[in-house]
Amino acid sequence: MGISRSRFYEIKALARRAGAEEAMVQRQRSVARSPLAIPIEVEELAVRLRKELADAGWDHGPISVRYRLQQMGIAAPAASTLARVFARRGMVVPQPQKRPRSSYRRFEAPLAHVCWQLDTFQWPLADAVGSIANVYQLLDDKSRFIVASHVEIGETTSGALTVLGKGIAAFQVPHRLLSDNGTAFNQTRMGRRSQLVEHLQALGCRAITGKPGHPQTQGKDERVHATTQRWLRAQPGAQSISELRAQIDYFDHAYNHERPHQALAMRTPAQALSDGPTALEPIPPLPPATPRSMPVSAKTYKTDFAGRVHFHRISVNLSRKHARTKVTVVRNGDTVSIFDPHGTLIRSQHLTPGKHYYGVLGDQAPRPNPSEVSTLT
């Protein structure tokens, strides 16, 4: 009957003293609405709005219902008052085991497009085969704006690159991309490199991941998944990938531009994104420097008394039989070819960086030092 135990015994005692009719009259007076209570019309409208939002698959809590009442120009009661109304009407299932929100440690990127979150969830298609599609959602961490979405069969690197390309084409390159440790996204913790990570690094974006087995790091994307799945359950089942893509596109527009977000002070993600500020686009790294190729050159030199030819601070020993003769040195990059005056190839040598002396072929002896050579008198 919606009364307390003590009130029940008061009515029972009154019925013994004054009779049942008098007790019922007192009971009707006691349950009469307080003059400070919200009008019954507003209460009925709030209950109806809650049911309509729930049937459509959108959030239908007291804050969402209060926002809809305000949008209709009605003096909406407090969210706590609406929560008591819904609880009194049996529309709320108590969940005392849920962790309070105040215990969570919340983090948020300082600017829009500083950090994007990427994740997927599976959704069954209503076709005869019973296919399972993967819905990719790319979310801005600051504004909660769904930057891009994509639908295909399976969680693949190509799907991740596709949805990332959509987001970059529509906005810009983010500074960081947060994902889980799936093989299609980021395999850095496994000691491997993925195509997505290499593509991001080439754009100047840093790919980061959450701790394995800790999906709370990607909590914002997980929360969007829950809202999307609740909305999809309220829609007719998609028969194909194209139908599911059309549903996701409609949801993205409503989520970004129509649905207020409690974490954004009841602003829409589009409003939060437009309010700014927005991060500057990262600068991609410079490409690796290519070694400068030297042009082919040819020049004539005269060997010394030991048959050594000197050029560009490099000495090549041709043996004493080529002493005091003119030779032609042809240099092509790191390769040197030495010819005698008749055009006969004497020696071909590959130059090693940092090495300046090359002895006679087959001779590993060090370069002779004239100061250490003794002479007989």
Read off the pLDDT of residues 195-236 as tens digits, 9 standing for 90 and up.
999 999 999 999 999 888 787 888 898 999 999 999 999 999
- What value does the mean pLDDT take over residues 242-246? 95
pTM, two decimal places: 0.63
**Per-residue pLDDT tens digits for 90-119:** 887 777 767 676 666 678 889 999 999 999
Measured distance CA(313)–CA(4) in Å, rounded: 104
Domain 105-275, CATH 3.30.420.10 — does that match?
A: yes
Give ranges for CATH 3.30.420.10 in the chain: 105-275
Would you call 255 exposed, middle or buried from its count of C-beta atoms within 10 A (0-12, 13-18, 19+)?
buried
Token code pair at residue 43? 């209460």
Strands (E), the chain: 115-124, 132-140, 146-152, 176-179, 206-209, 297-302, 308-311, 314-317, 326-332, 335-339, 345-350, 357-358
Whether the pLDDT of residue 248 is over 90: the answer is yes
Question: How many percent of the chain have pLDDT more than 90?
Answer: 46
Half-sphere exposure of 306 (CA within 13 A, CB side): 12
SS3 state at 256:
helix
Would you call 122 exposed, middle or buried from its count of C-beta atoms within 10 A (0-12, 13-18, 19+)?
exposed
Would you call 14 exposed, middle or buried from its count of C-beta atoms within 10 A (0-12, 13-18, 19+)?
middle
